[in-house]
Structure 1
Amino acid sequence: MHSEKTKNMVTRGMGQGILFSVLLGAVIIYILSSYGYLTPWSTWDRWIPFGATLVLLLVGVGACYGFFQAYRTKVKLERLRETLLQWEKGSVMRAVPELGSDEIGRLGEQLSRISKKWEEQVSSLQRLSTNNAQLAEKARISAIVEERQRLARELHDAVSQQLFAISMTATAVGRTLDKDFNRAKRQVALIEEMSAVAQSEMRALLLHLRPVYLEGKHLEQGLRELVRELQAKVPMEILFEMDENIHLVKGVENHLFRIIQEAMSNTLRHAKAEKMEIRILRKDKAVKVVIRDDGEGFELDDKKQASYGLSNMQERVNEIGGSILWITAPGKGTRIEITVPVMDEESEVTPDYGR
């Protein structure tokens, strides 16, 4: 479709050039004839070759001029379109190329000014998130401890109740096994069901007993520790990769850690997956996070976005000036792609975690 539009634009440009050239030639001939600079021939055998040659010359010149102008315009629009596509993907650091001094060039200059303001806004958002993280760190330490203790009590109480029920049912199985075999089978099935419920509760609260922020660690270190701990407790294969040349400010790392933590929690609770992959890559002037599992997937509607905590993930991505995309369907697993622009100051300064 795009190629067809490009051809149509070049064709229109050539047609306009031919029309302009023919009209201009006719005007020049008329003016020269009016002032007596052209002497008409008395016979048609001299007019016809002259006229045909002149028309062909004008058509050729007009076609070449129209093609040249249309091609230049096409190239400029292609470069501008490529830049806008990169902006749409989250690469706000992509500069608008030089497009000349015509209308398209002035449009490019205006977009360049918009791009600079956009960069400043994203940079301000990320600096603000870092400042907020630093200001909130001391105030939340006691709250984190209390929350962990509360969750630990809930986990202990819930699992203890399930274990007590399993223990009582197992005792009943021993008493009824010889007397009523069918009843004993039902009790065994009940034990299996209660065990599954206890396991689900453990998995649901497992990540929430983890630190809610990195607590002085780099993003890679915090995620590797989280993955290592989960692999020891959860029967699911978890692959984690992160490029070495990624340095982000503290606020951005905290948000990415929470987003990935939320995604892992959703997978443990809902996906019934056997494998999960987490990859953090550097793409030009942006960081791309890809989270994928081979679980059940789901229909992406308003209800799912609320129940799966997807709106919280979207809000966190917005706070650091990034974009997020969910790719999922029932029975097809889930893929999450997050793109966060990296400001110049982030790529040059390693965040200070010692304070």
Structure 2
Amino acid sequence: MIVSLKDTLKANWQDVIYKTVPVGFIFGVLFSTVSFFASFGFTNIQLLFLPFLTGVFSGIGAIIALAATNILTEKTTLGKTTIQVLSFVLAATTNTVLVLIIFFNQEIMSIRFEAFFGILFGLGLGAIYAMYSYKVGQMQERMEFLEALAEKNKQLQEASRKLAITDERNRMGRELHDSVSQGLHGLVFTLHSLRNVLQEPNERITSILNHMEATANSTLDELRTMIEELKPSLLAEQGLTKALTVMTDLFSQRHQIPINLDIQTPDNLSAEVELAIYRITQESLTNIERHANAEHISLTLAIENYDTLLLLQISDDGSGFNVEQYTPNSLRQQFPSSHKGKGSGNGLLNIRQRIEETGGTLKIVSKINYGTTIIAKFPL
């Protein structure tokens, strides 16, 4: 604290002196002028001496106020306005004591009642100004707090809006991938099978089959492009770390479930893996919300195995389930990601598919009443 105080005084004392001493000197000139015309009884030498004295007192008071402000800021949790008022009171009290010592020492200077009254009047005006400053400062602090709160709410609303858009894009992407895309794949496969079944098809039938296959493949390519364009805007604009942070923060605020984050992302991570990690995290949080009844969640994204693997681990302390009872084929029926509508995704099966599509591996660790951990590893 002492070092900090010395540093503060060393850095600011000249600026404080330059700003306060001239003000005190001007006040002294005004007081001397009033004393001269009001016949307070000061000698000419005393009247000339007063401006210099008030200037010195102003400088001393400012230095005391600066030191008090620094100490109170470091050692207390008082508000800025309260600290300023206390610093002023301390500086004014010190100056009052100095004035009384000087003026009551008859060897240095005699004092008249009018002069002492003027000093008290000046301190009274200072106290009134301090109270006014205190009230104004409190109002300013409240306004600053409300403005900061409004800005935070604005940011939260904007993030919520983006998340809502992202959720809708995710839903549309899953619908297109799980329903339309699979249907087109089935159509192409059926056309291939039909071509093989037909014995010596004529030119007209062959032309129709070729046209249908070309149309189906073209539509499938366009669909893949549409699904890629539905990539979350937050992920595309601000990167994986920011996207995961915003997603988990909003989830935590919405459901009052604390989430511990530990995110480390490599520089060379492909867009495909980034999107998979984002979707897997989103799907996992949805499953936790609807099935786990968890109180705590942790998410870890870390580089492992000498920079050759990327680990994504999502854990909760919820209800858990018996992993041994479920196979990949049964996950579609047992763990839907939503019970609220048709075609809303396939929960853990969807997570498994996304991981396998990027060449990764999935491990699920869970036990009834002991939570669930999703462990996904992606090659780098």
TM-score bin, normalised by smaller chain:
0.3 to 0.5
Q: Which has the higher contact order (CA 8 A, sep 6+)?
A: 1
Structure exhibiting the larger radius of gyration computed from Cα positions: 2
TM-score normalised to the size of structure 2? 0.34
What is the TM-score when the length of structure 1 is the normalising length?
0.36
